[in-house]
Structure 1
């Protein structure tokens, strides 16, 4: 039996060292930032409602909340107002951060981050010759990087990056790629693939991580870069976006999604066993027993996540559908048809969530026994990898299709679109839909199809054995493919143009948050007066 690889041994040493530093830091605690439980309860309820308006993964909520705060208080940032502590307090009230946990020095760290971004904004305003709208878009984009840098001050697990670097090094050794692919760009893209699959990162998180890689001095000695960024901000954004459009991105993601389970289970094992980690990892029998415990826990969490994601998708569909029902469908029917057709309204309102409910019930988690045995085998290979063993994954350049092949494929796709459209048109004529009812039905059918695909991907996050395609599922996906593509496009558009979220952010949030802040100050004043009695 091979011994643990050098990368695995180094990982265990770094984790042990990090744990020792954590214990030392805990001995030196200062006064911490705290808020009233009453204001926290009120704001937490608001944040739950606000987050329900967008179909966003829960791990993105903290980042989104910080970004909303920075956008709302952008002019205060430009005016050099000290709002670092208020930002942390607002995040604590929303229960994104723990109450009475973070030292007051964190507020100064937030201020330092805002200061350097503000100076870039000032330099950009002085140098920019772009129109006002483009300036605002660039400033908002750069502000999203500031939000992520602030989030980095509050890591849930300080060893995450240690695991990412370890996983990256393991993947470099266990993955073979053709010579024309290998190089600095491939290594960077492999790292980004590890990062986005470990953190389930969205585009802004990826851009920030690439920004960290390309400009490390921004995080240690930013003064030299402030004027530079002020001059090249449009080009900086363009370069980061271009770097993420890598030709083999999908191929890397396909591999990482299957391998990510290894690093999550290893992280859990080390976190739970601590000093015994080396002993367990070095003993195949003990390792298999422990992996079974961890796998069962992940399996249950995966099942719960699937149920939660299904409920959130259904709630999102129902809320959006009810909004359109009263804002568009009922008024249009009254005007266009001269009457309200309750059958069509009921059909259009009930069928989309009903189809999504049925889809969520059909989607199953991967089979346990065969899946677990495959996980154990691959886990062992990644822990003890040596050059004598064959690679786990092979990456090849994407095969370019010939022009005739591309033409034939596009013709088939076009015929598929026409056939799907013809079927829907016959359905609408039979049900006597007007064109607005038809458009809304297609939009929601597309969204539901896209959400169903997303839910199936959630269910397959624990899959080590690739699922086999069945003829029926292939045919259904083939005919629904145009609708799924529309759903993908709509989901992005809904995120960008969520009217309800816009109303919350610009009409409700500012006065509400101001009221909460005043209430917090009042409680602090009462507390001070009580102490002086």
Structure 2
């Protein structure tokens, strides 16, 4: 069976529900999505299952450590738990006792409050252990990959950590929404490009939808594409399937990576992102009015009101999230910059440059967070206009108005040929000009070469973080303004700086000495101490109960 023929099979197998065909395919997927919401909102069975319990005292300490550690690695909030799972597995890499590893993994996640205390059933230990066990032959195969061993191990850690997170917190509604968006866009989409082969189009569309709707990162996409090829893997794979995957691991990794690295992937993602905004509001409306959603959809006035209310709530949540992102980014910049200032910049200025002025040091510490705050706090959404556009789009999506046909085409890339070389040269010159002007100004204020380097380094990071935070409005805004002369000047001088910041942010974790120090020097003994303290407290409780 080709992947395009079973693209949705893993999704509906995963949520444990198969769409019943009601005559119209889109209606079937909408009904499937509504059924998923209804199940997610149904009262949970209150069985007297034994749960995993940890000490609140040690949990508080572990949570503080985790917050400090996350401050050094600025990332999206919805990725923090999966990152923690991956980090724990990487630290414990090579252990063969999957039961012990499963137990320690769950305890660490509960300590750090990624999972609730006294809520995770003890049977989850065996379920996670089963996942770890089936990956063991794959890691054995990766060790025989020669120069690719490191890459294969990291790839498997991505897939493994994502599958464990899916087991611990199944994203039922989220995956159902991905299926709904995919099916709707697919039914309206005309492919006007030859750069995506017909046999790859459905998979590329699915990847783009997953990125746009759920903001999935590379690790999540690796897992989702992998289980599209092997839908039985996420259930209870046979030994033959595990052996087959292990034996063909290099080819499987190459196939998945080729799909994720498709040359048209970014362009298709941007195309889908703009057209998937309305579905977020549709989800909110369906969740709030799951009992009478059909009546609301049939009444234009009620539907318009429901959309307006859902959009208003989303706008408020967006502002809160932006402010929280700004604070996290500022903490990251302040913390990292202060440490570098004390360890590198201050000694250089005092011992080498013989400069006793505090102005460069304080400027480097305080200027960048201030710039980031200004960039982030000026984010604006045209709420009234955007809500009207959302309502109109949803009417089209649901067939309540004229259905809009979508057409995906690709322009000729400017980065090729003589014009591409010319534009790349001008682009580089703009970056050099900006660096030169800023360096000259800073030098006139007696900044040392190290201070200038750190100023430019963190300025590029700040502009990227600010650009990323401002860009998050695309999750809700249906259309973007074309911009004027101000936007054009920004693109000419600051876009190269933003892209430099992006390049640094992608590669910084690989060379982040502080993260390495925490992950491999501090974390292991710290977690061992927490485990020892928790054991001691449990021992004391037992002795107290004996009295």
TM-score (normalised: structure 1) = 0.91
> Which deviates the most, 480-489 or 19-28?
19-28
**CA 1:25–1:321: 2 relative to 1, 3 Å:** closer
Equivalence for 1:88: 106
CA distance in structure 2 between the partners assigned to 1:162 and 1:80 by the alignment: 31
Deviation at 1:312, TM superposition (A): 1.2
Contact 1:69 1:87 in 2 (8 A): yes
**CA 1:124–1:449: 2 relative to 1, 3 Å:** closer
Contact 1:40 1:92 in 2 (8 A): yes
**CA 1:182–1:379: 2 relative to 1, 3 Å:** farther
Equivalence for 1:518: 532
Q: Secondary structure at the match of 1:465?
A: coil
Q: Secondary structure at the match of 1:176?
A: strand
CA distance in structure 1 between the partners assigned to 2:460 and 2:503 by the alignment: 9
Contact 1:365 1:460 in 2 (8 A): no
- Does residue 417 of the first structure (1) align with residue 436 of the second (2)? no
CA distance in structure 2 between the partners assigned to 1:531 and 1:316 by the alignment: 45
**CA 1:120–1:464: 2 relative to 1, 3 Å:** same
Deviation at 1:372, TM superposition (A): 0.6
Query: Once superposed, which parts of structure 1, at least 4 consecutive aligned residues long, lie more than 6 Å away?
Result: none
Deviation at 1:65, TM superposition (A): 0.8
Contact 1:251 1:395 in 2 (8 A): no
Map 1:388-467 onto structure 2 (within 5 A): 389-391=403-405, 393-401=406-414, 403-467=417-481
Match of 1:72 among 91, 105, 113: 91
> Which deviates the most, 210-219 or 428-437?
428-437
Deviation at 1:529, TM superposition (A): 4.3
Contact 1:44 1:94 in 2 (8 A): yes
Equivalence for 2:188: 174
Equivalence for 2:317: 301
Deviation at 1:385, TM superposition (A): 6.9
Contact 2:54 2:118 in 1 (8 A): yes
Contact 1:303 1:459 in 2 (8 A): no
Match of 1:212 among 224, 227, 233: 227
CA distance in structure 2 between the partners assigned to 1:479 and 1:75 by the alignment: 48
CA distance in structure 2 between the partners assigned to 1:67 and 1:84 by the alignment: 13
CA distance in structure 2 between the partners assigned to 1:159 and 1:113 by the alignment: 23
Contact 1:92 1:98 in 2 (8 A): yes
Deviation at 1:350, TM superposition (A): 2.5
Match of 1:278 among 283, 288, 294: 294
Equivalence for 2:140: 122
- Show structure 2 runs of 5+ residues with no match: 1-22
Equivalence for 2:339: 323
Equivalence for 1:347: 363
Equivalence for 1:186: 201
Deviation at 1:329, TM superposition (A): 0.8
- Show structure 1 runs of 5+ residues with no match: none
CA distance in structure 2 between the partners assigned to 1:357 and 1:163 by the alignment: 33
Contact 1:192 1:206 in 2 (8 A): yes
Equivalence for 1:51: 70
Q: Which has the higher contact order (CA 8 A, sep 6+)?
A: 1
Q: Secondary structure at the match of 1:216?
A: coil
C-alpha root-mean-square deviation of aligned residues, in Å? 2.6
**CA 1:46–1:278: 2 relative to 1, 3 Å:** same
Contact 2:38 2:290 in 1 (8 A): no
Deviation at 1:25, TM superposition (A): 6.4
Contact 2:372 2:462 in 1 (8 A): yes
Count, aligned residues: 523
Deviation at 1:528, TM superposition (A): 4.0
Deviation at 1:322, TM superposition (A): 0.6
TM-score (normalised: structure 2) = 0.89
CA distance in structure 1 between the partners assigned to 2:375 and 2:28 by the alignment: 45
Contact 1:303 1:365 in 2 (8 A): no
Note the alpha carbon deviations across 1:438-467, whole angstroms, 9 max, x for none.
Answer: 211111111111112111112342111222
Equivalence for 2:255: 239
Contact 2:37 2:173 in 1 (8 A): yes
Equivalence for 1:16: 35
- Does residue 197 of the first structure (1) align with residue 212 of the second (2)? yes
- Does residue 105 of the first structure (1) align with residue 148 of the second (2)? no
Note the alpha carbon deviations across 1:359-402, whole angstroms, 9 max, x for none.
Answer: 223x222111111101100011111178x7341x3211332447
Equivalence for 1:149: 163
Q: Secondary structure at the match of 1:495?
A: helix
CA distance in structure 2 between the partners assigned to 1:137 and 1:151 by the alignment: 21
CA distance in structure 1 between the partners assigned to 2:110 and 2:408 by the alignment: 44
CA distance in structure 2 between the partners assigned to 1:425 and 1:258 by the alignment: 39
CA distance in structure 1 between the partners assigned to 2:310 and 2:329 by the alignment: 28
Q: Secondary structure at the match of 1:211?
A: helix
**CA 1:400–1:224: 2 relative to 1, 3 Å:** same
